[in-house]
């Protein structure tokens, strides 16, 4: 039998071997996707870190839509972001300190923490050589492989004591920006023939400033850096139930090493249904700019969006990317903040007309989606709706949109890993799957 035919035959047989009747899930009370019938998540753990509020439970125990809220260690996101905006200062390191420790730092603690991050940003020369050898277009894969390689350079890679976990966490938070910037510069050199620059991070600069410096030298503004800083804050944490953080908690529950657990989280975030969605939104936006003649004509916008929902236009997926969320109902607080940031940046970049068009797409996209579904359940724009537009205005390439998400979320991942390994009564996470196949009698090979 030819090998090519065997692969086809095995693949064809999967059609039957993977078939499970839908009614069986209801019969056995299976929570597909760890989601209840009303769309809420199945409660599988407790945490002190992040809290995602998208609905309220009424007296009958049913979820009711509400304005979305996001809390970091008990502090509402708005309360953390607004002072940074008004004072025009960088805050990602401050939020990282909060998420790791549970407390906001005072000035002395924050300064020491910034210095510690800055000291750990440079890469081992062996890692730099490794990134050069790995040259490729998928920065997420390179990031995951570099994280796994860090295991070999760590003097205590398998030590899960609290002190060692904190050391590893700080080193990962500090090194992610450097790995991503270097990997993209090497990709740009090998794929686009551009000059290759390996810039050493600057002392005294924030993570956002250093990332832009390593990536673009001096081709960025102070507002660009502050917008990136706020994007990192907004994406740093989203509770224990999001797919990548849950992946980190599941793997951490086995007591595997930090690098294996974080690499697993990167693999989860890479998926287009998780961290890769912002690219879907910005590509859709470019398409709509070309297809819709009058960017202020609501009727023309509605006609085209309805064609998309009916799988007649764009990529014929039936989706309006960036609209809807698994938890948030009336609003996503991250999208609310990003919408304001996008407006401020659009003024500096002279892209107000595009910004107003994007806001109309959000407004009409929600309306068209709810009418299409004939549902009273509200929908809202999610984090991804404005993030890609902000990245684009800052001048960042699409190849690093999802890696930047990882650069922010590494804070939440490490905080949840530390918590998973340090609460009393911890157990390996091991849910159940019910086998529904009837027993078969073994047939000798010469009788098959």
Which residue in the list 274, 299, 302, 315 is annotated as catalytic? 274
Cα–Cα dist 225/272, whole Å:
26
Average pLDDT (36-60) is 88
The tens digit of pLDDT for each residue in 110-121 reads 999 999 999 999
**Is the per-residue pLDDT at 354 higher than 90?**
yes
Helix axis angle, 207-216 to 92-101, nearest 10°: 130
Which residue in the list 238, 257, 325, 416 is annotated as catalytic? 325
What is the pTM for the complete model shown?
Answer: 0.94
pLDDT at 60: 81
130 is catalytic: no
**Is the per-residue pLDDT at 134 higher than 80?**
no
The tens digit of pLDDT for each residue in 364-399 reads 999 999 999 987 789 999 999 999 999 999 999 999
In order, the DSSP letters of 227-293 are HHHHHHHHTS---S-SHHHHHHHHHHTTT--HHHHHHHHHHHHTSTTTTTHHHHHHHHHHHHHHH-S
Residue 313: pLDDT band (50, 70, 90) is very high
416 is catalytic: no
pLDDT at 424: 81
Which range among 33-47, 138-152, 246-260, 310-324 shows the weakest confidence by mean pLDDT? 33-47
pLDDT at 425: 78
- Listed residue (415, 380, 400, 365) closest to 231, CA to CA: 400
Which residue in the list 238, 257, 384, 416 is annotated as catalytic? 384
| Count of C-beta atoms within a 10 Å radius of residue 288 | 22
pLDDT at 156: 97
The tens digit of pLDDT for each residue in 200-249 reads 999 999 999 999 999 999 999 999 999 999 999 999 999 999 999 999 99
**Is the per-residue pLDDT at 255 higher than 90?**
yes
257 is catalytic: no
**Is the per-residue pLDDT at 136 higher than 80?**
no
Cα–Cα dist 111/93, whole Å:
9
Q: For residue 64, what are the β-bridge partners?
A: 56
């Amino acid at each position: 039998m030819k090998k090519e035919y065997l692969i086809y035959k095995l693949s064809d047989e999967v059609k039957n071997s993977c078939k499970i009747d839908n009614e069986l899930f209801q019969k056995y009370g299976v929570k597909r996707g760890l989601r209840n019938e009303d769309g809420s998540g199945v409660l599988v753990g407790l945490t002190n870190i992040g809290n995602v509020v998208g609905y309220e439970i009424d007296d009958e125990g049913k979820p009711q839509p509400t304005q979305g809220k996001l809390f970091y260690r008990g502090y509402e996101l708005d309360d953390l972001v607004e002072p940074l905006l008004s004072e025009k200062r960088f805050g990602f390191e401050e939020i990282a300190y909060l998420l790791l420790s549970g407390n906001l730092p005072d000035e002395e603690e924050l300064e020491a923490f910034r210095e510690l991050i800055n000291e750990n940003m440079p890469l081992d020369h062996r890692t730099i050589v490794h990134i050069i050898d790995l040259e490729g277009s998928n920065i997420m894969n390179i990031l995951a492989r570099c994280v796994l390689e860090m295991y070999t350079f760590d003097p205590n890679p398998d030590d899960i004591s609290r002190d060692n976990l904190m050391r590893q966490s700080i080193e990962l938070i500090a090194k992610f920006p450097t790995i991503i910037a270097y990997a993209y510069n090497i990709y740009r050199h090998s794929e686009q023939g551009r000059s290759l620059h390996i810039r050493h991070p600057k002392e005294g600069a924030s993570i956002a400033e250093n990332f832009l410096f390593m990536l673009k030298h001096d081709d960025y503004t102070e507002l660009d850096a502050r917008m990136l800083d706020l994007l990192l804050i907004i994406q740093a944490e989203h509770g224990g139930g999001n797919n990548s953080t849950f992946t980190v908690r599941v793997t951490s529950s086995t007591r595997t090493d930090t690098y294996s657990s974080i690499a697993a989280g990167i693999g989860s975030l890479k998926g287009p249904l998780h961290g890769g969605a912002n690219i879907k939104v910005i590509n859709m936006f470019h398409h709509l700019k070309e297809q819709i003649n009058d960017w202020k004509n609501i009727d023309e916008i509605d006609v085209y969006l309805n064609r998309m929902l009916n799988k007649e236009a764009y990529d014929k997926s039936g989706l309006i990317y960036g609209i809807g969320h698994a938890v948030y109902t009336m609003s996503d607080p991250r999208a609310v903040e990003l919408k304001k940031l996008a407006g401020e940046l659009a003024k500096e970049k002279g892209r107000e007309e595009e910004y107003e068009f994007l806001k109309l797409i959000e407004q009409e996209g929600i309306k068209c989606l709810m009418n299409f579904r004939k549902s009273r359940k509200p929908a809202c724009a999610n984090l991804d709706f404005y993030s890609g537009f902000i990245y684009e205005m800052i001048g960042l390439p699409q190849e690093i949109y999802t890696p930047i998400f990882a650069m922010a979320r590494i804070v939440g991942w490490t905080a949840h890993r530390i918590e998973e390994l340090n609460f009393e009564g911890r157990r390996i996470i091991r849910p159940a799957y019910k086998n529904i196949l009837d027993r078969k009698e073994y047939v000798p090979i010469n009788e098959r």
